[in-house]
Amino acid sequence: MKKSLVIIMMLMLLSGCIEDNIIDDILMAEAEGYDYIGNNQVIGTITTPNYAQGGVSGSGGGGLPATASMMSSATTVTYDGRSLAENLQPKGQKKIKVGKLRIMLFNEALLKHGFEKTIHFRNQDPEVGRDMYLAMVDGSTKDLLTATYQTAIPISRYVYDLIFQNQQQNFPKNNLSTFLYSYYGRYADPMMPIIKREKDHIVLTGIMFFKHDKYAGRINGQQKAFIFKTLVENFKFGFYDYTFQQNEHAVLENVSSSRQYVVKNGNSATPDIFATIRITGYVRQGSPLLKTKDYNSTIKRGMEKDLEKQIKKMVAGFQKSGIDPIELGQIVRSYTRHFDGASWSDRYPNARFHVKTKINIVETGVSQPR
Amino acid sequence: MKQFRINETHQVSPVYALFIIKGMQVGVSVFSFQRIVSRDSEQDAWIPVMVMGLSTLVIMWIMLRLLKNEQAYGMPDLFAMHRRFFGPWIGNLFSAVIIAYEFCIVIIFMRAYIELLQMWVFPRLPVLSFTAIFCLIVWYIVMGGFRTITGTFLLSFIYLLPLFLVNSFSVTEAHFNNLLPLFDHSPAELARSFIKLSPCYLGFESLLFFYPFLKRPQQAEKWCYYGLLTSLSVYVTTTVLGTVYFSQGELQTLIWPLLDFWKSIHFPLFDRFEYIGIVYWLTVLIPNISMGVWIVSRGIKQSAPVIKQKYALVPVLLLLILICVVMKERSQIDWLNTTVSRVGLCIIYIYIPFLLFWQWILKKKEGMTHEKELSHHHDADAAQRLHRR
């Protein structure tokens, strides 16, 4: 019995062989930025949160900040697709780990060059979660990541929160998981949001679209983003600003938006795609010119027409440049028996897209206009 | 006749058949089978999964019939059956093959889990110390007897329930039109998926070994079917999840799709779910390996009664450790996995029905000899009567 006890104790000792990652002893990279500088070289920037504690007043020794001296960002030049954390180890005060990466930013030049290697690496690496955000930066990612802003929280969380809250509203849902879904998916092209630094703010300016892994176009502003979002997902919050005449607006805040597709002749040279978009919403901000009954006649119909026009224009633009961020190809495939996938890329620009919007204005605010 | 029955103190209630069968079927392959099964049949992958699940019900019926008939002749398990059907020499040879097969399954389980741990959680995990500690646990459980093993199966069933609730997180990001158009693949493509699927459902043939340990086997029958249906539902939902959550192109790039899905879940307290999930999966592995090792050691004892089960157990575990340490590459595990699953497929779809057929033939033959004996007896009686007269 004693002998077996000794053996058991010795076996327990073996378990100490695995390396540990104690949170105080590592630097957790939370944001990565890539700036393309030509010739397959990138400037890579990482930032790590800097848990600066304020000195505790009244305590002896002046309450020295505990970790304020930790580094907060580092930059290197490397080939594209290289793991930044590994490449930056020589600059790391402590071991740099990417397990908690929240955002990855790319500048326009890199996306125009194509970033297949980076995406492949992200899909291959088990260390990073899939609910992080990818975003394009207008300007330099290094500037954006190392600048100081009004908020004191780390830049990674600032950008994360910014994108997160906007994706609850006018911007379509997009994170690494959905990006990979459409990147590797057949008959679909991915997209990502665009952010920009404006002095001490960060602004979400639009959405950019890919053709496979290369930049292929963008839309700006939350109006366009709303229109795009109605096509790609069902959602509950968002607002649409309708200008019914010069300088006169009515804003629809939507309570729910749902889309429905029907496809006919999916294997013909010109497939017909019928989209029906139903939006239910409030108007809380309307022009003083409008009466209650106007909302259910002119405004409603005007909005429907306007949305249809804009949607058609947007889809025609996508078809012209041969990109498919709405994943119309997936929709046609799911409605067509023995779908002819090989010729889809040739047929996609000729597909006939029909859209019908149905807007239901439920309430018009708490005051009775005139 | 007394050695034909297991002492009631070592037997378990009929309901435990559910936990054991479900536990044996749902293993590490849950993480990886979606990619393999949808390679040929894409969005229709759930069809072969469903068909195979339903076919296991038929095989279960055959097995139960086989074991029930066998009760009249001796111990109703596969090793005793082999000896009765084919004589001691050939019978033991067959038993040896089955033992080797079961042992390979144990190795695959162990090795696949270690690979998972090394890939996702601890890249520098030393295989030797992990398997050594693990085998110590297994040794302890198997020494506790069959009831202890069943207990771990029950625990793992309970522990796993919350893990499958996590699947509901996929609903918000699901693309349900990925499942359309239904039935868009040829039977040949579905059949190819069906064959690749085989490692998933294997494991329920362990009933052939633990059947004598079930109290009131008549009542246990329905729990066996319920066990199969539970794992059927697990596999079908996981397949559907893989199809609606990933696009087909993406799914083909992922070796462990379920873990990639877990990777996108986070809770306020823990940022990444797959670390919890993988380590949690140890509770599935423990009963599985214990059962496998129990079958192997019991098989050795049954085939060569000189060796006691507890003495057979130690070399089995040592061999397990050795092989796990020696096997290093993914390609080796893959090769072993495919080979063993093909063998398993043959065992459940060809060998088990064959056994039932053989049993029926033996019974017929026996009946005939019995009749002959009877008629012979009859003749003798008549002769005697004649003689007396």
In a domain, residue A14? The reply is no
Neighbours of A303 (CB within 10 A): 22
Between chains, do A15 and B260 touch, taking CB under 8 Å as contact?
Answer: no
Strand ranges for chain A from DSSP E: 26-28, 31-36, 41-47, 73-79, 95-97, 103-107, 133-138, 191-198, 201-211, 214-220, 239-245, 248-264, 272-286, 352-363
**Distance in angstroms (rounded) separating the CA atoms of residues B319 and B324:** 8
In a domain, residue A9? The reply is no
Please list every residue in chain A whose beta carbon sits closer than 8 Å to the beta carbon of residue B143.
none
Neighbours of A267 (CB within 10 A): 14
Q: Considering its fold, how many domains does chain A have in total? A: 2
Q: Based on the fold, state whether residues A249 and A360 are members of the same structural domain.
A: yes
* Residues ≥6 apart with Cβ < 8 Å to B346: none
Q: pLDDT for A282-299, tens place per residue?
A: 888 888 888 777 888 888
Between chains, do A131 and B178 touch, taking CB under 8 Å as contact?
Answer: no
In a domain, residue A5? The reply is no
Decide: B202 and B341 in contact? Cβ < 8 Å.
yes
Closest residue of chain B to A335, computed from CA coordinates: B181
Q: Based on the fold, state whether residues A80 and A192 are members of the same structural domain.
A: yes
Q: Based on the fold, state whether residues A218 and A252 are members of the same structural domain.
A: no
Q: Based on the fold, state whether residues A68 and A216 are members of the same structural domain.
A: yes
Decide: B24 and B206 in contact? Cβ < 8 Å.
yes
Decide: B191 and B19 in contact? Cβ < 8 Å.
no
Closest residue of chain A to B123, computed from CA coordinates: A18
Q: How far, CA to CA in Å, does A39 sit from each of A36, A77, A82, A107, A121? A: 9, 12, 14, 15, 20
Q: Based on the fold, state whether residues A92 and A117 are members of the same structural domain.
A: yes
Decide: B76 and B212 in contact? Cβ < 8 Å.
yes
Q: Based on the fold, state whether residues A32 and A126 are members of the same structural domain.
A: yes
pLDDT on residue B48 = 92
A vs B: CB pairs below 8 A: 88
Q: pLDDT for A119-141, tens place per residue?
A: 888 888 888 888 899 999 998 99
Q: How far, CA to CA in Å, does B347 sit from each of A273, B94, B226, B350? A: 50, 12, 22, 6
Looking at CA atoms only, how far is residue B274 from chain A in angstroms?
9
Q: Based on the fold, state whether residues A40 and A186 are members of the same structural domain.
A: yes
In a domain, residue A179? The reply is yes
Looking at CA atoms only, how far is residue A70 from chain B in angstroms?
23
Ramachandran class of B10: left when φ > 0, alpha when ψ lies in -120 to 50, beta otherwise: alpha
Q: Based on the fold, state whether residues A183 and A69 are members of the same structural domain.
A: yes
**Distance in angstroms (rounded) separating the CA atoms of residues B326 and A69:** 47
The structure tokens listed for B112 are: 């696949």
Residue A361 reports pLDDT greater than 80: yes
Domain boundary among A185, A217, A233: A233
Q: Is B192 on the interface with A (CB under 8 A)?
A: no
Q: Is B246 on the interface with A (CB under 8 A)?
A: yes
What share of chain B has pLDDT > 70, as a percent? Answer: 94
Looking at CA atoms only, how far is residue B176 from chain A in angstroms?
10
Domain boundary among A213, A233, A253: A233
Residue A105 reports pLDDT greater than 80: yes
Residue B76 reports pLDDT greater than 90: no
Give the residue from B43, B129, B130, B262 with the most A CB atoms within 10 Å of its CB, the best one to mutate: B129
Dihedral, CA of residue B207, residue B209, residue B215 and residue B219, to nearest 10:
20
Q: ipTM value of the model?
A: 0.85
Provide the CATH number for the domain around residue A269.
3.30.300.210
Q: Based on the fold, state whether residues A217 and A352 are members of the same structural domain.
A: no
pLDDT on residue A295 = 81
Please list every residue in chain B whose beta carbon sits closer than 8 Å to the beta carbon of residue A234.
none
Domain boundary among A187, A217, A233: A233
User: What secondary structure letter does DSSP report for B214?
Assistant: B
Please list every residue in chain A whose beta carbon sits closer than 8 Å to the beta carbon of residue B325.
none
Residue B329 reports pLDDT greater than 70: yes
In a domain, residue A7? The reply is no
Give the residue from B117, B124, B264 with the most A CB atoms within 10 Å of its CB, the best one to mutate: B264
SS3 of residue A235 by DSSP: strand
Between chains, do B177 and A186 touch, taking CB under 8 Å as contact?
Answer: no
In a domain, residue A313? The reply is yes
Between chains, do A334 and B253 touch, taking CB under 8 Å as contact?
Answer: no
β partners of residue A242: A250
For B247, the closest of A100, A123, A181 (CB atoms) is A181
Question: Do you find a cis peptide bond into B181, omega within 30 degrees of 0?
Answer: yes
Between chains, do A337 and B181 touch, taking CB under 8 Å as contact?
Answer: yes
Neighbours of A133 (CB within 10 A): 24
Q: Is B177 on the interface with A (CB under 8 A)?
A: yes
Closest residue of chain A to B137, computed from CA coordinates: A8
Q: Work out the pLDDT band at A56, boundaries 50, 70, 90.
A: low
Closest residue of chain A to B181, computed from CA coordinates: A334
pLDDT on residue B80 = 87
β partners of residue A31: A47, A103
Average pLDDT, chain B: 87
Q: Based on the fold, state whether residues A284 and A332 are members of the same structural domain.
A: yes
For B247, the closest of A8, A175, A185 (CB atoms) is A185
Q: Based on the fold, state whether residues A60 and A102 are members of the same structural domain.
A: yes
Q: Based on the fold, state whether residues A133 and A245 are members of the same structural domain.
A: no
Between chains, do B247 and A182 touch, taking CB under 8 Å as contact?
Answer: yes
pLDDT on residue A103 = 92
* Domains of chain B, CATH where assigned: 2-388 (1.20.1740.10)
Between B46 and B388, the higher pLDDT residue: B46
Between A96 and B376, the higher pLDDT residue: A96
Q: pLDDT for B137-180, tens place per residue?
A: 999 999 998 999 999 999 999 988 888 888 888 888 888 888 88
Domain with A285 in it: 234-370
Residues 269-298 of B with CB under 8 A from A: 271-272
pLDDT on residue B388 = 62
Q: Spell out a b/e string for B342-377, using b for 16 or more CB atoms within 10 Å of the CB, else e.
A: ebbbebbbebbeebbeebeeeeeeeeeeeeeeeeee
Residue B43 reports pLDDT greater than 80: yes
Q: How far, CA to CA in Å, does A160 sit from each of A165, A226, B265? A: 9, 20, 16
pLDDT on residue B198 = 80
In a domain, residue A210? The reply is yes
